[in-house]
Structure 1
């Protein structure tokens, strides 16, 4: 089979190669991959900023394809099913545990830039009929994370949700929040990106370059109450403002560190308002399945900014690293 390997910790060190066709063992499925989708974790792996990867390796955590062969005992799927393999195939359900997240596709296991991949049958989720393979490939990390964000604050009609940025997790959170009946305040540095968010249902737009005190703008938009949920995707540069923008008893769901992971906070910001600060590292196969059901029930279509060819991995990675995209960047096989 063909595969794209990352051979050095660099955004340009990809090579096309030929590897032996994998065979499904007991309980496994063989998937003919049709698309992959990039996350910032893939960029971190490619630049040597994320531990655990041994080079050369087949990168990219997320992908989608069709089942072409079954191992003995694999009964939850059938040949021809369009499926999404989970990023962490050992995390089937329940809370995060070290043994459940030790195996990660595109890091410690072969990723999605290959013709075929073998994964445990129980770690795949069927792709909704209304989505193509590129759209389906965006779901494992970003949609699962966003779904858990909305669930963490029990978002419902009347809730207010603040979303930072217009990346994959942010836009999935916007779509899930609107499907739940919430009012959404979208914060970005780009008017063009904000307008893309408006088209997805964002109720209020705040450009933080024009309004650096965007947290104060959130309070004004909510008559001083603040947001029930803040989806914090940036990190150090915005974290204190996210705490300020949250309502009493609200939730700050933190998943990003684009501006840095080390931050200093005033604990009274959390204690005084009895805030819940929830860290997240995606979710289980069961969480992905729930997110997919919500996507199917609400007709949600993932935002794919651009799709590259299988031999354009370096260009796809550069696009994600540059942060100019809206939603997700995909790679088609």
Structure 2
């Protein structure tokens, strides 16, 4: 089979398409999946670029979607022909996070081989069903960014109709968060440094738009938009460079979902302002298999479809897809399909 591997020490120039042995037949509790798509996430970019070291000749990518070809003995959840999508933390089936979820040792494409391959054999519990009528490329967006947005809004923030959600940027998490929030009856304030991308967020249902490159004090603008109440939920992807404005923007007793660190991994937190807001600041990394199953049911019910970049990439051009991602010109999700 063909697979895309990363040669040590990492770097986009060290991504290679290789021929590897077919994985064979599934054992007890396993399924064999013919993979057809993956989607790119910031975490994948960190691994591919060498910023996050991994083993030599690691098969890349945390997200994978495809079709079950064969189910081993003891598997009752899936059967041949089922369309499935991978899980980010295959060891986290349900409940609260535990020790091995605190790092990426068992995360595909990082601590173990990922899904940039034509076939895999994995325990059945490493997959869920894909949403009905979604393409493989659409389904592949669910594993990381889709589930992150769902957990931030629904699981952790307990989003309800009438709430106001503030999203930062126009990547996969923010776009999906906008779609989920609107489907649940919330108002959405979207931010970006690009008026063109803001226009696309408006087309998807954003109620208010802020260009943070022009308006550096966007936290106060959010307060003005909401008549001094603030945003009930903030989808915070910037990290230290944006956190102070997010705290300014959040409502009293509101929720800030700290998802990304695009502006760095350390910085000053205005703790007095956070205390005064009595807001909940919670970090999160993706979610459990149970959360993903709930998300799939919600997608089937709402009819939401992911927003995918209009530039096509095949398995052999994964390196070019990462270059596109690094250029930060895309809107929504970059996917690779084969």
TM-score bin, normalised by smaller chain: over 0.9
1:154 aligns with 2:155: no
**Residue number in structure 2 paired with 1:213:** 217
In 1, Cα distance between equivalents of 2:168 and 2:119 = 36
**Residue number in structure 1 paired with 2:87:** 86
In 2, Cα distance between equivalents of 1:179 and 1:263 = 34
Q: Secondary structure at the match of 2:241?
A: helix
Question: More deviation in 8-17 or 307-316?
Answer: 8-17
Cα RMSD for the two superposed structures: 1.2
* 1:85–1:119 contact (8 Å) kept in structure 2: no
**Residue number in structure 2 paired with 1:236:** 240
Instruction: Using the TM superposition, give the Cα deviation of residue 162 of structure 1 relative to its aligned residue in structure 2, in angstroms.
Output: 0.2
Instruction: Using the TM superposition, give the Cα deviation of residue 103 of structure 1 relative to its aligned residue in structure 2, in angstroms.
Output: 0.9
Q: Secondary structure at the match of 1:177?
A: helix
In 1, Cα distance between equivalents of 2:113 and 2:69 = 18
**Residue number in structure 2 paired with 1:4:** 4
1:124 aligns with 2:140: no
1:278 aligns with 2:302: no
Instruction: Using the TM superposition, give the Cα deviation of residue 313 of structure 1 relative to its aligned residue in structure 2, in angstroms.
Output: 1.0
From 290, 308, 316, the equivalent of 2:313 is 308
**Residue number in structure 2 paired with 1:25:** 27
**Residue number in structure 2 paired with 1:35:** 37
Q: Deviations over 1:255-280 (max 9, x none)?
A: 11111111102211111111100100
**Residue number in structure 1 paired with 2:293:** 289
1:114 aligns with 2:113: no
In 2, Cα distance between equivalents of 1:307 and 1:169 = 20
From 167, 171, 178, the equivalent of 1:174 is 178
Q: Secondary structure at the match of 1:205?
A: strand
Q: Deviations over 1:43-80 (max 9, x none)?
A: 111122224x2011110110100000112111100001
Instruction: Using the TM superposition, give the Cα deviation of residue 236 of structure 1 relative to its aligned residue in structure 2, in angstroms.
Output: 1.5
Q: Where does structure 2 lack aligned partners over 5 or more consecutive residues?
A: none
Q: Secondary structure at the match of 1:65?
A: strand
**Residue number in structure 1 paired with 2:16:** 15
**Residue number in structure 1 paired with 2:77:** 76
Normalized against structure 1, the TM-score is what? Answer: 0.97
1:254 aligns with 2:267: no
Q: Where does structure 1 lack aligned partners over 5 or more consecutive residues?
A: none
Q: What is the aligned residue count?
A: 332
In 1, Cα distance between equivalents of 2:189 and 2:106 = 36
In 1, Cα distance between equivalents of 2:85 and 2:298 = 15
Q: Deviations over 1:288-327 (max 9, x none)?
A: 1111111111100001113311111111011111211111
Q: Secondary structure at the match of 1:242?
A: helix
* 1:130–1:299 contact (8 Å) kept in structure 2: no
**Residue number in structure 2 paired with 1:61:** 62
Q: Secondary structure at the match of 1:308?
A: coil
In 1, Cα distance between equivalents of 2:99 and 2:27 = 24
Normalized against structure 2, the TM-score is what? Answer: 0.96
Runs of 4+ in 1 over 6 A off after TM superposition: none
In 1, Cα distance between equivalents of 2:228 and 2:218 = 13
* 2:105–2:112 contact (8 Å) kept in structure 1: no
Instruction: Using the TM superposition, give the Cα deviation of residue 234 of structure 1 relative to its aligned residue in structure 2, in angstroms.
Output: 1.1
Q: Secondary structure at the match of 2:336?
A: strand
**Residue number in structure 1 paired with 2:327:** 322
In 1, Cα distance between equivalents of 2:46 and 2:100 = 22
Instruction: Using the TM superposition, give the Cα deviation of residue 129 of structure 1 relative to its aligned residue in structure 2, in angstroms.
Output: 2.2
